[in-house]
Amino acid sequence: MATLDVRYMRRYPEGIKFLHTTYRKRSHNQTLGESIHPKLSQCSRLCPVECLSTYLEKTKQWRPSSDSMQQLLFLALKKPHRPVSLATLSRWLKEVIHLAGIKEDIFKGHSERGASTSAAKRAGLLSMAD
């Protein structure tokens, strides 16, 4: 997540796709890969596409086109608004997990995808087709 770059983000009617610019831990076949974030039409407040669009709108003034580092997705909230570290992203994620009421002793930062998807399914936000 720390290396997602808005220059390699593509919007589609069904969601947003990021092309990866660095190898990930699991890039065994030497492909950079991509991450896809689907639109959740049923609930705009929980939709990752809506959230990302709002975040990009609020941070666009911090992204001068001349600075390639400022094109990384996640920027610090305090000036000079540099890209955040992996440790900061991890801390933010732990805080969100805590605020969401997810058991932190069971679910850690690396398992947020499964925990959040399971919670969304239990809340009726996802159907079997999702």
For the chain, what are the domain ranges? 1-73, 85-130
Greater confidence (130 vs 13) lies with 13
- What distance in Å separates the CA atoms of residue 59 and residue 36, rounded to the nearest whole number? 21
- What distance in Å separates the CA atoms of residue 117 and residue 126, rounded to the nearest whole number? 8
Strands (E) located in the chain: 9-12, 15-19, 34-38
Q: What is the pTM of this model?
A: 0.67
Q: What's the pLDDT band for 130 if we cut at 50, 70, 90? A: very low
- What distance in Å separates the CA atoms of residue 109 and residue 94, rounded to the nearest whole number? 6
Greater confidence (76 vs 127) lies with 76
Q: What's the pLDDT band for 107 if we cut at 50, 70, 90? A: low
Question: pLDDT per residue over 1-23, tens digit each?
Answer: 778 888 888 888 888 888 777 76
Find out whether 73 and 53 touch, Cβ atoms under 8 Å: no
Residue 33 has pLDDT above 60, yes or no: yes
Rounded mean pLDDT, 103-113: 61
Block residue for tokens 């996640």 = 74
Q: Which range has the top average pLDDT, 13-17, 26-30, 31-35, 126-130? A: 13-17
Q: How far is CA 17 from CA 21, 47, 77, 88, 128, in A?
A: 13, 14, 24, 23, 22
pLDDT at 48: 85
